Structure 1
Amino acid sequence: MRFYWLALRCNTMELWTGFTLGLLGSFHCIGMCGPIALSIPGENRSPSAMLFRGILYNSGRVFTYAFLGFGLGILGMGATVAGYQNILSVLLGALIVFFALFPHIKLPEKFRKVYGNFQKIISSNIATLFKESSTSSSFIIGLLNGFLPCGFVVTALAVALVTDTALHSCIYMALFGLGTLPVMLMMNMAPGFISPKMRSKLRPFSTYFAIIIGLLLIWRGFMVGDGVMGH
Structure 2
Amino acid sequence: MTTALLVAALLMGFFGSPHCLGMCGGLVTAFGLSMKDISPAKRRALVFTYHFGRLSSYALLGLLAGFIGTTVLEPLMKGNSLPRILLGSVLVFVGVTMLGAPFLNKLERFGMRFWQYLSPLRQKVFPLNTFPRALTAGLLWGFLPCGLVYGALLIAVVAHNPLGGAALMFVFGLGTVPMLVATHETVGWLREKIGRFHLRQLNGAIMVLSGLAVVAIPMVMANMHGGHGGGHGQMDHGSHSAMMSDADSTGHHDMSQMDHDMTPAMDSTVDHSMHDMSDDAMSHHAHHEPSS
TM-score, scaled to structure 1: 0.75
Q: Give the alignment of 1:1-231 within 5 angstroms.
A: 11-40=2-31, 41-42=34-35, 44-77=37-70, 78-83=72-77, 84-104=82-102, 114-131=110-127, 133-185=129-181, 187=182, 190-195=183-188, 199=191, 202=194, 205-223=199-217
Note the C-alpha offset of 1:64: 0.8
User: Using a 3 Å threshold, how does the CA distance of structure 1 residues 30 and 112 change in structure 2: closer, same or farther?
Assistant: closer
Note the C-alpha offset of 1:143: 1.0
- Contact 1:19/1:179 (8 A) holds in 2: yes
- Contact 2:57/2:142 (8 A) holds in 1: yes
Identity across aligned pairs (percent)?
A: 25
User: Using a 3 Å threshold, how does the CA distance of structure 1 residues 213 and 155 change in structure 2: closer, same or farther?
Assistant: farther
Aligned residues between the structures: 216
Q: Looking at both structures, which has the greater relative contact order when contacts are Cα pairs under 8 Å and sequence separation is at least 6? A: 1
Larger radius of gyration: 2
What amino acid is the match of 1:50? R
Note the C-alpha offset of 1:180: 2.2
- How far apart, CA to CA, are the structure 2 residues paired with 1:176 and 1:198? 18
- How far apart, CA to CA, are the structure 2 residues paired with 1:107 and 1:183? 22
Gaps in structure 2 of 5+ consecutive residues: 226-292
Specify the SS of the correspondent of 1:194. helix
What amino acid is the match of 1:39? A
CA RMSD of aligned residues (A): 3.3
- Contact 2:65/2:162 (8 A) holds in 1: yes
TM-score, scaled to structure 2: 0.61
Gaps in structure 1 of 5+ consecutive residues: 1-9
What amino acid is the match of 1:46? S
- How far apart, CA to CA, are the structure 2 residues paired with 1:42 and 1:48? 11
